[in-house]
Structure 1
Amino acid sequence: MKRFLLTALVAACSPLSVFASDCMDTASTQGEMNKCAHQLYKAADKQLNDTYHSVTTRLGDDAQIKKKLVAAQRNWVAFRDAECDFVAFQTAGGTVEPMVKLLCLEKVTTKRAAELQDYLDCQEGDTSCPLPPAK
């Protein structure tokens, strides 16, 4: 849990996240808020990609488990997209729709990055951990 909080703090303090957060505080039009939401999502997506890369690196040359990870991630992407389509449905066609969808994407993506980080942080001997111990 401490690792998750540290990861979240680091992500929140990254230059892109700080910019996007400040951006939302100062945005005065819906277009500006949509752009800010896009920046927040981009920051979360970068964190996810970096964490995913660390997971694949830890898996080494084990093609079987990497195949399982790829399948899980593809299914997660399908879930993420469907979930955020559902969340933004009531705003479809409105000027707020992009922001609602992007903020959902940012939230769900941040959660997935934290889940992957938990795999990297699990203790040796944890049978629920799909990753080998860190070397």
Structure 2
Amino acid sequence: MRHSKLTIIGILLMLSTSTTLAKEPLDCLEKALTQKEMNNCANINFKEVDAELNRVYYAIQQKYIKNKAFLKNLKEAQRLWIKLRDADFSMQFPHSKEAGYYGSIFPLCADDYKAELTLKRIEFLKQWLIGAEEGQSCRGSQALQITDDIPQTKNESEIEQVCYANVIPYNDNKNTNFKDITELTLNINYGDGSVKGKYNYLPAEKDQRFGEINGSLWKGAISAEYTYEQEGETNSINVRIRLDDEKAIVQGEVKDKILSVSDEIKKIPCQ
């Protein structure tokens, strides 16, 4: 058990060289006495590391936003890396789906191993944020080095607001000034992966819908609860939001079809 705790601490110290994300898992480990508690700490650690990967990946997308060929290959490379990570995990723990095979420590071992693989990926991707030195002939797609370092996590600069809207003229043969409007505003915290925002549907004729988004960024997509008010009633559904450089795709549905959403909303400058 002591060896397992030291392994997690080692990973957290590696992560803490570039971010303050490690504080919560370290606090957890200081208090952990049972195997179950240590397993929980390892899970917290992995989620922190995965959030850091998402942050670095998004930072690269923003830095190279004009290099479409690079971004296309980055997306494909990340997709294939996820497959490789899962394959490596299965190779390390081939009986992971057999309950109890590796004992009560397995949840810790599993999250620990995935965190190690993810940290290696983070260090690899950071090459594109750090950049290549002047005169390096084989830098390929890497930009030249700049003095600004990668932003630290869990501060105000980590929270980015992104905005999306569709405005469609509504033609009722009487008043062409009416419009159907869909608007989405998200505040994404790349430090802890949390996402909050507003998602409104404002048709010219039908009852309008106002709602709030509360969720988290996970593997490049947002999973969230959408709580909305329409026709004097308040309801909520789970939605999934995928973002790229030009649009947001929102999808969600409840079993009894109180509401079904499937919107593709254009990215716009935030006011």
TM-score interval, normalised by the smaller of the two chains: 0.7 to 0.9
Number of matched residues?
A: 128
Offset from partner CA, 1:4-41 (integer Å, 9 cap, x none): x9975133xx2x41221232243122221111111111
Per the alignment, residue 61 of structure 1 pairs with 66
Offset from partner CA, 1:61-120 (integer Å, 9 cap, x none): 222211100111111111112212322336653322221110011111111111111222
- Structure showing greater Rg: 2
1:131 positional shift = 2.4
Per the alignment, residue 112 of structure 1 pairs with 121
Between Structure 1 and Structure 2, which shows a larger proportion of helix residues?
Answer: 1
The DSSP-based 3-state class of the residue aligned with 2:139 is: coil
Taking a change above 3 Å as real, the CA distance of residues 8 and 130 of structure 1, as seen in their structure-2 partners, is farther
Q: Is the 8 A contact 2:15 2:119 kept in 1?
A: no
Greater RCO, 1 or 2 (C-alpha within 8 Å, sep 6+): 1
> TM-score under structure 1 normalisation?
0.79
Between Structure 1 and Structure 2, which shows a larger proportion of strand residues?
Answer: 2
Amino acid at match of 1:10: S
Unaligned runs of 5+ in 2: 1-12, 147-271
Unaligned runs of 5+ in 1: none
Percent of aligned pairs with the same residue? 27
Q: Is the 8 A contact 1:45 1:106 kept in 2?
A: yes
Runs of 4+ in 1 over 6 A off after TM superposition: none
Which has the higher mean CA deviation after the structures are superposed, 48-57 or 24-33? 24-33
Q: Is the 8 A contact 1:87 1:101 kept in 2?
A: no
Q: Is the 8 A contact 1:88 1:100 kept in 2?
A: no
The DSSP-based 3-state class of the residue aligned with 2:99 is: coil
